[in-house]
Amino acid sequence: MIVQMQDTTTSKISKKLVTMRSAGGSSALSRVLTLLVITRAGFEEAAISAAALASREHPCRIVVIVQGDPTGDTRLDAQIRLGGEAGAAEVIVLHTFGPDAKVDESLVSGLLLPDAPIVAWWPHGVPADAANTPLGRIAHRRITDSGAEEDPRAALFSLAETYRAGDTDLAWTRLTLWRAQLASVFDQLDPSLVTSATVTGAVDSPSTVLLAAWLRLRLRIPVTLASTPEGTGVRSVRFCRTAGDVELSRPPGDVAELYQPGQKAQLISLPQRSVSDCLSEEMRRLDPDELFGEVVREGLKLTNLRSIRASER
């Protein structure tokens, strides 16, 4: 069920939502959190689709704020979606227009689930300081995606400068499977024989940088970053040892290969993760991701890396 509301208010939207739930026989009691999605016109459908898929694991109310043309008359248009493609969520899409349309707590306060956690997600457009934005201040968790930016590495380093407990980035979440496999591999090695590591990945991939920073922080060995063409993501990690190198490599596809001296290559499932998978993982925990905080605040400094501007590629 989809209902359009033109030139409306949050009070009218809230009342309409109650009416629609009553007519459909549904309840908001099963929703576990409110997900605020802050995006731009033209990008909202992809974000709604990912959030609706994530809601199958975390039933929630999704409030999407689409910032439209700041010129002209100030108004608020809305769309309410229940059932069908909305998944296990209630989706409220707010389109703001005009110079006086402010994206702050007053815009969404009447639509928040009472006594439920709030998660804010910026799928497109990493804010300069997420924790100090009007909606970031009321959120328990703040999720950005530096990988969706024009200059992903610059966005990542900007995030590192303003990091606050509760911040996270999907570039980090995309590494969950990589980190699990690498931890398993390293547990089988003698740490004293590992002299250095090399991380190979796309020049535009913030995940590659974060993986190098994590290894440098945890292993305290030299880590070299080797670049591949844009759009290829993380490709491989090689541990250099006096007893022979060990490498986990993922060619194009979802299967990685583990190479160890004297052994046949081992095939390991290592699929690329979708946005909805990453978002769902972040919605599982509402406490700060302390490891991510250590990596962006300390690990990035140890790598001596900096952002690579598009003109330098």
- Give per-residue pLDDT as tens, 193-212: 899 999 999 888 999 999 99
DSSP state of 188: T
DSSP helix/strand/coil, 75: strand
- Residues 12, 152: Cα–Cα separation, whole Å: 39
Confidence of residue 70 (pLDDT cuts 50, 70, 90): confident
Confidence of residue 238 (pLDDT cuts 50, 70, 90): very high
- Judge whether 57 and 87 are in contact, CB under 8 Å: no
| Domain positions in the chain | 2-170
The CA angle 76-37-298, to the nearest 5 degrees, is 140
* Mean pLDDT calculated for residue range 81-91: 75
User: Would you state the pLDDT for residue 313?
Assistant: 37
- Give per-residue pLDDT as tens, 171-200: 999 999 999 999 999 888 888 889 999 999
- Residues 16, 92: Cα–Cα separation, whole Å: 11
Confidence of residue 22 (pLDDT cuts 50, 70, 90): confident
pLDDT of 27 higher than 60: no
Confidence of residue 312 (pLDDT cuts 50, 70, 90): very low
* Mean pLDDT calculated for residue range 142-161: 92
DSSP string, the chain: -EEEE-S--HHHHHHHHHHHHHHHT--STT--EEEEEEEETTSHHHHHHHHHHHTTTS-EEEEEEEE--SSSS-EEEEEEEESGGGTTEEEEEEEEESTT---SHHHHGGGSPTT--EEEEESS---TTGGGSTTGGG-SEEEE-GGGSSSHHHHHHHHHHH--TTEEEHHHHTTHHHHHHHHHHHHTS-GGGEEEEEEEEETT-HHHHHHHHHHHHHH-S-EEEEEE-TT--EEEEEEEETT--EEEE--SSSEEEEE-TTSPPEEEE-PPPPHHHHHHHHHH--S--HHHHHIIIIIHHHHT-----GGG-
